[in-house]
Amino acid sequence: MKHYLHRMKQSFGLAAWICASAACSNPGKSGGETPKADPPRQSEDAKPVVGNPTDAAGTRIILSFRNPAGLKNITGYVVGAVDQHGFKAIDAEHFAFFSLKPGRYDFIVEGQRAGDDTSQSNGTNVGIRISGVTVRAGEDTILREPIELQPALAIKGAVRLLDGVTHGAITVQIPGTRIKTQTEADGTFTLSPVPLGSHAIVASNQGYIDAAYESRSWTDQDTLELPAVTLLPQDQALATGIHYKGDGLLPNDENIVTVFLVRPAGMNKFRISETADFAGATWQEYQSSVDLKFPPGGERKVFVQYTKDLQQYSAIFSADIPMTQP
């Protein structure tokens, strides 16, 4: 088990599952926690008017690009308000989002960059998500440092239905954005193109409880193959803790069982172990279900504990898992 949990640390370090109301999905929020990703520094000096002063000056986020040569088809939108704010060039060097109320915003900018063969009709998809940019009343917000659009990512994973024969047509999306796909019949999915930045990824299906990958910073250095998760029917909502939904049968020839984790409100990490002292267990980003592998026979007891940023801790929960045929 300890060996498995070590492997699980490597696999599940990629992403974790949280409620679908991910941080930064609401535009212009004026309170709450600061998003995890740090935005480029904003100018604290007097804000000069950039571009045409009639273009709603004082309600804009203004930005420029690093290495702009070869960029084309540039678009942008505010996360959680995809079609509510304009985005356009305001002079030869700057672009802006318009009509923003005071608050804190995430936004996505994307486009294409021509490759070595500049005659090709389509370039490489590039983009970035900037999180936590503050807009103040009566001021333009100018990003002091130019942003750099990086090659977009393809994120793969799998979603299963607990009682499903087929696992197709499950919606997988990044909330508040235009990025969405559906699973194949075997539950696999690919989200693409995904701009670099901090994203949550939500899976949903009619009649089932939504779940989502924890908001985290995705970079081109990541391994983008996510662990499979299982969705519970809405009529099987579970109490806080850890739950095994099997009936004592071996679930498959490899003795892999799925346990469901329900965290207390606000908790974002968990640790899991076969011992109540969690010897050798490490804290991982939360996810709603975990696959475990045990040798056959007997009954296993699994313990879980939750935390918020290693500052607040939950009680210890446990579940018994029969590993024999009835």
Contact by Cβ (8 Å): 135, 101? yes
Instruction: Convert the pLDDT of each residue in 231-261 to its tens digit.
Output: 999 998 899 999 988 754 445 556 778 899 9
pLDDT for the residue numbered 14: 38
pLDDT for the residue numbered 76: 96
pLDDT for the residue numbered 252: 53
Cα dist from 255 to 29, 157, 261, 281, whole Å: 46, 21, 19, 21
Residue with tokens 């909330």: 175
CA–CA dist 222, 151 (Å, integer) = 13
Instruction: Convert the pLDDT of each residue in 290-321 to its tens digit.
Output: 888 887 777 889 999 999 999 999 999 999 98
pLDDT for the residue numbered 7: 41
pLDDT for the residue numbered 67: 84
Instruction: Convert the pLDDT of each residue in 170-182 to its tens digit.
Output: 999 999 999 999 9
pLDDT for the residue numbered 291: 86
Q: Which two tokens stand for residue 269?
A: 């990490």
Q: Mean pLDDT for each 10-residue chunk of the chain (326 residues)?
A: 42 39 46 41 42 56 91 94 91 92 95 65 85 92 93 91 88 95 95 91 92 74 75 90 71 73 90 95 89 80 95 95 68
pLDDT for the residue numbered 314: 96
Going by C-beta distance under 8 Å and a sequence separation of 6 or more, which residues neighbour residue 70?
113, 114, 118, 123
pLDDT for the residue numbered 120: 46
Q: Which of 45, 51, 81 has its CA nearest to residue 63?
A: 51
Contact by Cβ (8 Å): 104, 187? no
Can you give the chain as a three-state secondary structure string?
CHHHHHHHHHHHCCCCEECCCCCCCCCCECCCCCCCCCCCCECCCCCCCCCCCCCCCCCCEEEEECCCCCEEEEEEEECCECCCCCEEECCCCEEEECCCCCEEEEEEEEEEECCCCCCCCCCEEEEEEEEEEEECCCCCEEECCCECCEECEEEEEEEEECCCCCCCCCEEECCCCCCEEECCCCCEEEEEEECEEEEEEEEECCCECCEEEEEEEECCCCCCECCCEEECEHHHCCCCEEEECCCCCCCCCCCEEEEEEECCCCCCEEEEECCCCCCCCCCEECCCEEEEECCCCCEEEEEEEEEECCCEEEEEEEEEEECCCC
